[in-house]
Amino acid sequence: MFPFPELRKGQDAMLDDCRTAFAAGEHLLAHAPTGLGKTAAALTAAVEVAQERGLLVVALTSRQTQHAIFVETLKRIHAQKPLKIVDVISKQDMCPRDDLDESRYGVFQAVCTALVRNNDCSYHAGYSPQFLPQVFDEPLSAADLKTLCREEVQCPHRVALEAAQECDVLICDYNYLFTPWSDVVWDRIQRPLEEVLLIVDEAHNLPDRIRLSASPTLSLQRIREAQREAGQALRAQLSILERLVESLTEHKGEKEIDGGSVSRMLDAALKQKLTDLEGFVQLLERSAQRRLQRGKVARMGDVAEFLHHWRFLKKDSDLRLAHGGDKPWQRKLSLRLLDPASISAPVFRAVRGSVLMSGTLKPRSFYRDLLGLDTERSRKATYSSPFPPENRLLLCVDDVSTLYRNRGDPLYRKLAASLTTVAQATPGNVAAFFPSYALRDEVASRLGEHGKALLLEERGASPAKRTALLGRLQQRDALLLAVMGGIFGEGVDYPGNLLAAVAVVGIPVPPPSLEQKKLEEYFERKFGDGKGRLYAQTYPAVNRVLQAAGRCIRSETDRGVVLLYDNRLGHRPYRRFLPKEVRHCTSSAVPALVRSFNGPRTGNPPS
């Protein structure tokens, strides 16, 4: 069933490991570098075992762009063994109605819900089970399904969820299984988790994605905006919440608060207004819905969503904070999920077997612990890179440290001078990734004449701007300055040797904060053995370094230089993550080493 003529080096071992894990009901944590062909290996093994035992394969990705490789691989498998495949993305992105060209998801969702309830959407009303066989004729991407459904006047999202009830393979986002509200979505699919073989793509992203999905914030400003939208009775109830948040955020900085007592205080005060917390949230939701249906922003919905999360206390696995400040947007309450396992462990316990794969899934015990995988059921595997090591010059620049205490003009000048020489000595694009925009900007303002077009990643840039910036790289004469953990440092592939050199500046250790301290304390309590700091900051930071460094070589013919600017990477606890071929050098040696590596290619940008 393997969909390609030949297995690559290392791919055969991964295929065997995946088969064993799925057949034995285990969780395989696979550190599988770029280029290994991990999607084909995991899908082949999952489909083989699932077909034999009547199970469902679910492939989860963290980004829509990652769906394409799953669909393409499944098309090849389907050519040998016909399969029912469903690819589903967000309802908004699948909606074929041109009259709902609404970018705000909340507004879209409310309008769609109202249309369905009033039987006013012809696409939704037109659904017919007789249409499903057409969906399964051949594997369709979500975009293909949208096109087909537009012609047939069917709602693509509804069709996808109906089809998922009887499909062999479902491709969807992490959200379908790993958020506090996943039960609601999954219930619509009506497939027991006990019959699921799970593939988690780019699994290093999963812990953070889970924590983010359950960590909302509510500012005083947002409450006041909601008050302006509300009718008289609701406005009075929102005033109670406003006064409570004002009293909790009078201090400077942030402090931990008791979520249970805040809920009780709010509940008691609301009862004076003939309602309680539950009734208040429901009224906010109904009022927000009415505004959204009229195409208006509804901050009341944001307040309702926050309180909805706030009401559910998860013993000691989450943290409630009150943040003080001078401005209403700075004064806020926030809920921080500390333990992603509170959401992921029940899912992994229930599924029949799983493969979690990534090019940077190290150390595997960290991900196993963080996601709450059963040790007895978990296996680890490492596969080596199929790319020729001589195609990459990997340098660790040892006379630089970006520790906070070292920051200042001399460091910024040194980094800027070195990056300038790297850009001068490199034909083609150079990308440099920083731990923060602030450090990036300090260095950018001190660059010398480097002879390339300077491209700066914008904080919160729109997809159109990001696409334009990537398009600019096609001219192969740019110096891109971006941040680690951002879209350019992790989410973007750079095919065709688009980056001839990548510089990773520093280690993105999170700045000290109460949340960070509590996270460390929580992991230390839960895992002991000095793991608090490692799990809360060291391992996540090193993962971002490795992700950014991995942007350079994306295929076996790519060639390039990777520079790591931070001497801490040569020491514990970081050095174990660096490949053995790393060369240590000083910044003054960098230009000659880069020129020598590029050799005769200098002046001839790779194409």
Can you give the binding site for ligand SF4, defined by CB under 6 A? 91, 95-97, 100, 112, 115-116, 121, 123-124, 155, 157-158
3-state secondary structure of 337: strand
Q: Is the dihedral of CA 493, 498, 500, 504 positive or negative?
A: negative
381 - beta bridge partners?
Answer: 30
Least distance in angstroms from the C-beta of 96 to ligand SF4: 6
Smaller CB distance to ligand SF4: residue 160 or 501?
160
Asked if residues 569 and 585 have their Cβ atoms less than 8 Å apart, the reply is no
How many Cβ atoms sit within 10 Å of the Cβ of residue 138?
A: 13
Secondary structure E strands in 109-203:
169-173, 196-200
C-beta of residue 178 within 8 angstroms of C-beta of residue 213: yes
Cβ proximity to ligand SF4, 91 vs 308, nearer residue: 91
Q: In angstroms, what is the minimal distance from the CB of 547 to ligand SF4?
A: 34
Task: Report the residue number, 96 or 560, with the smaller CB distance to ligand SF4.
Answer: 96
Smallest distance from the beta carbon of 127 to ligand SF4, in angstroms?
9
Nearer to ligand SF4, 115 or 218 (CB): 115
Which residue, 116 or 297, has its beta carbon nearer to ligand SF4?
Answer: 116
CB-based burial of residue 313 (10 Å sphere; 0-12 exposed, 13-18 middle, 19+ buried)? middle
CB of 297 to ligand SF4, least distance (A): 19
Tell me, letter by letter, the H, E, C secondary structure of 434-482. Answer: ECCHHHHHHHHCCCCCCCCEEEECCCCCCHHHHHHHHHHHCCCCEEEEE
Cα dihedral value 437, 443, 449, 452, nearest 10: -30
| Nearest CB to ligand SF4, comparing residues 110 and 500 | 110
Q: Residue 29: which of 376, 343, 382 has the closest Cα?
A: 382
State in angstroms the smallest separation of the CB of 305 from ligand SF4.
20
In the complex, least distance from residue 375 CB atom to ligand SF4, rounded to whole angstroms = 42
Tell me the backbone φ, ψ of residue 8, rounded to 5 degrees: -80, 165
User: How many CB atoms neighbour CB 408 within 10 A?
Assistant: 9
- Relative to beta strand 85-87, strand 196-200 is unpaired
Laid out side by side, the sheet with 27-31 consists of 85-87, 169-173, 56-61, 196-200, 353-358, 27-31, 378-382
The least distance separating ligand SF4 from the CB of residue 154, rounded to whole angstroms, comes to: 8
Give the H or E element holding residue 380: strand 378-382
Minimum gap (Å) between residue 58 Cβ and ligand SF4: 22
Q: Considering the complex, state which of residue 141 and residue 154 has its C-beta at the smaller distance from ligand SF4.
A: 154
Question: Which is nearer to ligand SF4, 134 or 221 (by Cβ)?
Answer: 134
| DSSP secondary structure code for residue 486 in this structure | S
Nearer to ligand SF4, 27 or 124 (CB): 124
Q: How far is the CB of 90 from ligand SF4 (least distance, A)?
A: 10
